[in-house]
Structure formats: C-alpha cells, structure tokens
Amino acid sequence: MKTTVEIADPLFAEARREAQRSGATLRELIEAGLRKVLDERQRARTKPFRLRDGSFRGGGAHPGVRIDDGRALLAYARMGLPGEPDTIEAVHAMLDAEEEP
C-alpha cells in the first residue's frame, strides 16, 4: 500500500544512510522499524507469565536430613534407586563409612 508520511529531515537522512550501509531499501528499514514498535507494544499489552507460589507450610526438611552437605543431598536424590540406599539412615551410614580411614 502506498502512503505519504512526513519524517523529520535529520531522521530521514539517518535512515537513508543506514539503508545504504546495510544494503536495505528505505522501505524495508521503515517496515522493520514499524514491525518492531508494534510487536513491542503488543507484548506490553499481554499479561506477563507469573509462576504460581509453590511453597508449602511444613516443618522444613525431614529430621536428620543433612541440608548443608552436598554429598548427602546427592545421595538423597539417588535414594531408592537400584544399588543405592533406600532410607535416610542408610544414606548416613554409607556416607559415614566413606569418611572412615
């Protein structure tokens, strides 16, 4: 569609230079800029994603869980898998045995 738009002289000169530099036509440059502005405004109107509050009320970690020990946390994650301990007590016994000389 053809239309006439008045553009400030300095902005028009800068746009022409950019079009020449990039190898684009002035029309392509104007269309790209207009698309960008319209897309940004559309995104501003859409409701942003909000993560639901997944927190819960509870007493924290299970009694005896060593939350300050990275090795223990990894062992808890593997707990119950084939060849791995299946209770917290068994994890602690395994970790304690690894620490003995």
Q: In Å, what is the CA distance from 77 to each residue of 47, 69, 80?
A: 36, 13, 9
Question: How many CB atoms neighbour CB 95 within 10 A?
Answer: 15
Q: What is the mean pLDDT of residues 81-85?
A: 90
Q: What is the pLDDT of residues 42-53, one digit of tens each?
A: 988 888 888 888
pTM: 0.45
Residue 64: predicted pLDDT: 82
Q: What is the pLDDT of residues 12-47, one digit of tens each?
A: 999 999 999 999 999 999 999 999 999 999 988 888
Handedness of CA 77, 82, 80, 91 (dihedral sign): negative
Residue 57: predicted pLDDT: 77
